[in-house]
Structure 1
Amino acid sequence: MSCNSCTKPFNLLRKEKGCPSCGFSYCSKCLDNKMFLPKLNAESKVCAKCKNINAKPSEPKTVEAPDAYYRRLGAMGEKQANQEILERLQKLKEGKSTPLTKDEEIKNRLQNIKGETPTTSDAEIYSRLAKLRGVPVEVVNAKPVLPPPDTRTEQQQADDLVKQYIEQTGIDTKYQDEFDGIISSIESRVQKLKGSKPAPVAVAQSKPEEKSDESEDEETSVKKIIEKIKKEATFEDETPPCDELPFCEICNEDARMRCLGCRYLFCKRCFLDHKDDDDGCDRYEPYEAPKNKNY
């Protein structure tokens, strides 16, 4: 708030005081005119306007508001006028009472640019799908039917699988026989067209496999295994190649033994380090260097 005469704001040092004649707010400097007030029946400090009005007895006694009061009323009137204009503008915008947001305005503009979008019903979509797939519309509209839960036991399921496999093999043999018959008839026709006698057609008959009586006994199989092991042993006992040197593979000392697993030459100490049960390098044979060669 401020003084209605000097328009200075009120604070702790400049206190607000009311004129006892007109009732408006003034500071102590502007409220320094003394005059007699009939309603108080005493002298009191009043504002300058009230003093001037009481000094002219011929004029009617009308209390005028200060200039600051009229300025405030003018500012309030402008605000009300601006508010009314805004309300009218909102009402004129396509007859809508609520203002549109930025996203809605952008959406409306894009819709106006694109134009009206064609609308298709579900029936039209299903009919198009049916035409593309080459099936009736009822198949497309039909909902998928879930299979019922399998309540068979494991033995029943196994029996059904065996039956299905037998039926499948029977169908395969049937088609194979039909195919062989068609091929034989085509060959016979080709032979007739060429002018030669058709070759006898061999009818494919499925015969059960007969068990051969010449199956090997256990003794003969054991003998063959023994002979195979002997041959491998003879290959292992063959003389080493001529370019083999009689030195240890690790320390280059004179070799004393040959590993039966990897067939390398080692001295006694290195063979113990090289020994491995998993790779078969746990056995050895004594080795002597050939005497006819000088190393």
Structure 2
Amino acid sequence: MSCNSCAKPFSLLRKEKGCPNCGFSYCSKCLDNKMFLPKLNAETKVCAKCKNSQLKPNEPKTFEAPDAYYRRIGAIDPNQLDNSNSNARTKDDQLILDRLQKLKEGRNVTPASTTDEDIKKRLQNIKGETPTTSDAEIYSRLAKLRGVPLEAVSAKPVLPPPDTRTEQEQANDLIKQYMEQTNIDTKYTEEFDGLIGDIEARMQKLKGDNPASQDPAPIQKNDESESEDEETAVKRIVEKIKAEAVLEDDIISPSDELPFCEICNEDARMRCLGCKYLFCKRCFLDHKDDDDGCNRYEPYEAPKVQ
């Protein structure tokens, strides 16, 4: 921005000030004419144009923008310029004036000659060419995106027909379906048992047993062997649990425990008969609980180090 009178740009030292009468921007040097304004009821500094308009009271009071303002925005009317000023006109100003003149001429043209066909063509040009993708291609793309076969996408949803069966017919159909499912399960179990029997026979052959000594009824033998295997497995598990119990007793022996309180790590003085932990006197009183059986104790002495 610059001053509307001297055209000097505003800066830190040249501040912008507004004329209180016309409202345009001026610097402090150009805003040095004092004048009494009735709307402010005081004497203030105004621009030179406002001061001159006060000296001519007969003329109508109109606020006209300064010439520097019109030169800056390039809004000078070309009809008001004479031939002498046309030579001083720059090339850029001439281009701007030509464009403004063309725009004014274009506004005066009435759009009566525009038809519906022209409007449709313009809309078609704006929209561009319409896609020619068929429905089959769209369904194939949708099936690829979903990861399902094409028939699952292209098939139209069919509503199930209304059930017109009676309650007795529905019950009979459910029983029939249950029996078919039971037959399928039985058949599968028999096939599975047969495969297991074949695998066991092959294993026996690989181990070197005589297949002639086997029982001709393999199913009964398998049942007996399975019962024997279950008994041996139960005995083995019981022996393993006993061995682990013995190991735990060996691991958690009184000689290996540390003679310190479980809470404060001080020297233990008593053993709780409920949880079998070692405590000092103060921590045992804090730990004491009648519901859990931790209300009784026995004195404890740390083993002597040999």
Write 1 or 2 for the structure with the bigger share of helix.
2
| Range into which the TM-score falls when normalised by the shorter chain | 0.3 to 0.5
TM-score, normalised to structure 1's length?
0.34
Q: Tell which structure's C-alpha radius of gyration is larger.
A: 1
